[in-house]
Amino acid sequence: MLIKIVLSLYVFFGLLSFILFGVDKYKAIKGKYRISEAMLLASGALFGCYGMIMGMLIFNHKTKKTKFRVIVPIIFSIHTCIWLFISMNPDTLNRLF
Give the pLDDT score at 96.
67
DSSP 46: I
Give the pLDDT score at 89.
78
Give per-residue pLDDT as tens, 32-52: 999 999 999 999 999 999 999
End-to-end CA distance of the chain: 11
Task: Enter the pTM of the model.
Answer: 0.86
pLDDT by residue for the chain (97 residues), tens only, comes to 677 888 899 999 999 999 999 999 999 999 999 999 999 999 999 999 999 999 999 999 999 999 999 999 999 999 999 888 877 877 776 676 6
Q: Where are the beta strands (DSSP E) in the chain?
A: none
Q: Environment class of residue 22 by beta-carbon count within 10 Å: exposed (0-12), middle (13-18) or buried (19+)?
A: middle
Give the pLDDT score at 91.
77
